[in-house]
Amino acid sequence: LSTPICGVIPPLITPLTDGGTVDESSFEALISHQLDAGVSGLFVLGSSGEAAYLDDRTRERVVEVASTIVAGEVPLLVGALDSAPARVHQQVSWIDRHSVSGLVVTAPFYANPSVRETAEHFRSIAHATSLPVYAYDIPANVGRRLEAEMVVELLSEKTLAGIKDSSGSLAEFRIILDSLDADSDAAVLSGADVLADLALELGAHGLIPGLANIRPDLFVGLVRAHRDADDKAVQAHQRAITALAAIFKTGEAYGLGRHSSELGALKHFLHQRGVIATTQVSQPMTPLPEAGLRDLDRIHNALQARFERDLS
């Protein structure tokens, strides 16, 4: 890619059959749903893609299916999720067989690296591939933040092509953006839902928000409204997104783990609207109970009514 990735790049859920294999036709419908909404790229095998739960064969099938469907229409980022350089290299070895646009890589996890060792991790991975490498800052899963100063150094030395910040804090995000040279082609991307408008205002090049799985139109509309400096539309879109974020916590009220609650909400929403065929999540995640489904509907109906009023 000659230009850095930008716009809305949904971190896709992985549609599964009841048997737990990749559901190709649902995947096709999901990607159409996204492309129709005008997204600029797609990201598979991130946390929303339940990568931590899928074996390598299923992971590779995700990449194969997605890259075939996308067919170069938009950039396709792929999570190369594993605990240390040699294991990430192993992921890259099969990702490389497919037509993809970049790798998204976390700091070492399970391991207890120092900051210097974390930097070496990214250098080792970037050295071994010709694909652009994006750092994935997701402390809720990895257990620690990426240090802003280290990210700035890795972007500046071109080890990293960009970063996806899913930390929830915008202070370091701003420090990274402020550090870029005028001619930098680094892609600084935000995983924020509730703060998506602010990330754009800070200069984020793109958004990778979980809620874009179900309402990509809200994020595409937000990015467009922001570009057009249409404050009223920015507000209406962001208000709808913020209200929609409540669905992530639906399952927690029923004792589900955080991933089960979040992925359950996304999959049920897509299933109810006929985009995907099942609500299947990987073991050992717990399915969302019936009562939770009603909560989802209530949240969505309320925000949609308001959204339409806001825009009119």
**Binding stretches for a copy of itself (CB under 8 A):** 20, 52-58, 81, 83-87, 89-90, 108-114, 116-121, 124, 140-143, 168-171, 174-175, 178, 192, 194-195, 198, 201-202, 239, 242, 255-260, 282-286
Tokens standing for 23?
């559901």
The total of other beta-carbon atoms located within 10 Å of residue 286's CB is: 16
Q: How far is the CB of 230 from a copy of itself (least distance, A)?
A: 15
Which residue's CB is nearer to a copy of itself, number 230 or number 272?
230
Q: How far is the CB of 274 from a copy of itself (least distance, A)?
A: 27
Spatial distance between the Cα atoms of 202 and 209, rounded to a whole number of angstroms:
16
Q: Decide: 234 and 225 in contact? Cβ < 8 Å.
A: yes
At a CB cut-off of 8 Å and minimum separation 6, what does 183 contact? none
Which residue's CB is nearer to a copy of itself, number 3 or number 114?
114
Which residue's CB is nearer to a copy of itself, number 74 or number 200?
200
126: helix, strand or coil: helix
Sign, Cα dihedral of 171, 78, 36, 308? negative
At a CB cut-off of 8 Å and minimum separation 6, what does 198 contact? 170, 192
Q: Decide: 277 and 268 in contact? Cβ < 8 Å.
A: no
Which residue's CB is nearer to a copy of itself, number 5 or number 151?
151
- Smallest CA-to-CA distance from 15 within 260, 228, 213 is with 213
Which residue's CB is nearer to a copy of itself, number 54 or number 63?
54
Which residue's CB is nearer to a copy of itself, number 38 or number 168?
168
Q: How far is the CB of 27 from a copy of itself (least distance, A)?
A: 18
Q: How far is the CB of 282 from a copy of itself (least distance, A)?
A: 6
Q: How far is the CB of 108 from a copy of itself (least distance, A)?
A: 7
Which residue's CB is nearer to a copy of itself, number 86 or number 305?
86
Q: How far is the CB of 201 from a copy of itself (least distance, A)?
A: 7
- Supply the angle between the helices 231-244 and 290-311 in degrees, to the nearest 10: 170
